[in-house]
Chain A
């Protein structure tokens, strides 16, 4: 999926993550900020990259500000930001690429 415009999902509340996606041309440029980066940085990166890969996002600038989100929350925020960047809110592929 192409990132058509900048879009954001999530908040800076505890247990949440704020994910911003912006159009890019040179692969995925991922930046992560987290208070638990030393413990969970690798896992956060893996979850975000897997989710982007499932959504077939190949070029984007992605910024994640993590506030202790569970994996399921991270996925939800990445998916929401990507679909928002495409203006899609209906007939989503639940159980397909969203899983």
Chain B
């Protein structure tokens, strides 16, 4: 049976540095859907051990009030990832974000150690979810096999900084350098039935550009975005939450299709737009998203 939280709402996934107690003690006040407690790049090489103790006690003792607790572990090419997995599972992290994923084999390697840790620490087998960050050209090209690699895998996230280095370019702010990866990843994720998140946007002085980028990735089909600052959360939630107009239209579509189906009518109009069965799943998704976002008051 699939994990009950595998497809939960994940519009905003905010990074927090495990090396900084001041950052990890109360991030739930900003109400992100998920926090990503970072053991990887944000933590200095000689503080990897210290970050784990802080992580363990934070997971065990801080009530994050329903916010999903994802932990980003160090890459499989480092000496840190095995102990990272042990502490994540022992502490009861909801999800582990695998850095620098390039293949299904990488996911399987992590999965094997997660299972061993679940047995060691008496956690239910299969309770720890996984997500994979794709940070290289090879990783992006292998997106589909990564998406299909494990029942625990909730989705894939683009890591634009490392990816553009591998591509031999830079983050330009136009998004042109990320077009191929974004398109490839969202198609792979949808084909495999998992979620997909866009990369961080780090220029906090350009909130208008950030907003445009969030609108674009929403249109592309992404489920949400990795974030670096609490100021970014509300913007993402606003864009990813259906408007009342969209909800009302979706309700009409669902009701009309159900009614007309019974009458043997396949195509008809709603508010002047031609509608047929192809619109049904999209309308249902809008209502599901509205429900998950806490803005639905209807009875569908």
Which residues of A line the B interface, CB within 8 A?
9-10, 13-16, 69-73, 75-77, 79-80, 83-84, 89-92, 94-95, 98-99
Q: A69-B21, A70-B25, A99-B60 are in contact. Are A9 and B50 (CB under 8 A)?
A: yes
Which positions 42-59 of chain B face chain A at CB distance < 8 Å? Answer: 48-50, 52-54, 56-58
Query: Which B residues lie within 8 Å of A14 (CB)?
Result: 22
- Asked if B87 lies at the interface with its beta carbon under 8 angstroms from chain A, I say yes
Complex alpha-carbon distance, A91 and B21, angstroms: 23
Nearest chain-B residue to A89 (Cβ)?
A: B49
Q: A80 contacts B50, CB within 8 Å?
A: yes
What are the interface flags for B116-135 relative to A under an 8 Å C-beta threshold, 1 for contact and 0 otherwise?
00000100000000000000
- Asked if B62 lies at the interface with its beta carbon under 8 angstroms from chain A, I say yes
Query: Which A residues lie within 8 Å of B53 (CB)?
Result: 9, 75-77, 79-80, 98
- Asked if B152 lies at the interface with its beta carbon under 8 angstroms from chain A, I say no
- Asked if B299 lies at the interface with its beta carbon under 8 angstroms from chain A, I say no
Q: A10 contacts B50, CB within 8 Å?
A: yes
Complex alpha-carbon distance, A91 and B82, angstroms: 9
| B20, B49, B86: residue with the most chain A Cβ atoms closer than 10 Å | B49
Which positions 75-132 of chain B face chain A at CB distance < 8 Å? Answer: 82-83, 86-87, 90-91, 121
Some 5 contacts from A to B, beta carbons below 8 A apart, are A16-B20, A16-B22, A72-B54, A76-B56, A92-B87
Main secondary structure of the interface of B (DSSP, over half): helix
* B87, chain A: closest CB distance, angstroms: 6
Which residues of B line the A interface, CB within 8 A?
20-22, 25, 48-50, 52-54, 56-58, 60-62, 82-83, 86-87, 90-91, 121
Q: B49 contacts A72, CB within 8 Å?
A: no
Q: A15-B22, A98-B56 are in contact. Are A92 and B86 (CB under 8 A)?
A: yes
Q: A73 contacts B54, CB within 8 Å?
A: yes
Q: B56 contacts A94, CB within 8 Å?
A: yes
* B258, chain A: closest CB distance, angstroms: 51
Nearest chain-B residue to A13 (Cβ)?
A: B22
| A9, A13, A92, A99: residue with the most chain B Cβ atoms closer than 10 Å | A92
Nearest chain-A residue to B21 (Cβ)?
A: A73
Nearest chain-B residue to A9 (Cβ)?
A: B50
| B48, B53, B58, B82: residue with the most chain A Cβ atoms closer than 10 Å | B53
Q: B83 contacts A76, CB within 8 Å?
A: no
Complex alpha-carbon distance, A90 and B121, angstroms: 15
Q: A72 contacts B58, CB within 8 Å?
A: yes
Query: Which B residues lie within 8 Å of A80 (CB)?
Result: 49-50, 53
| A13, A16, A72, A79: residue with the most chain B Cβ atoms closer than 10 Å | A72
Query: Which A residues lie within 8 Å of B90 (CB)?
Result: 94-95
Q: A94 contacts B22, CB within 8 Å?
A: no
> Looking at the complex, which one of B21, B25, B58, B121 makes contact with A94 (CB distance below 8 Å)?
B121
> Looking at the complex, which one of A16, A70, A94 makes contact with B86 (CB distance below 8 Å)?
A94
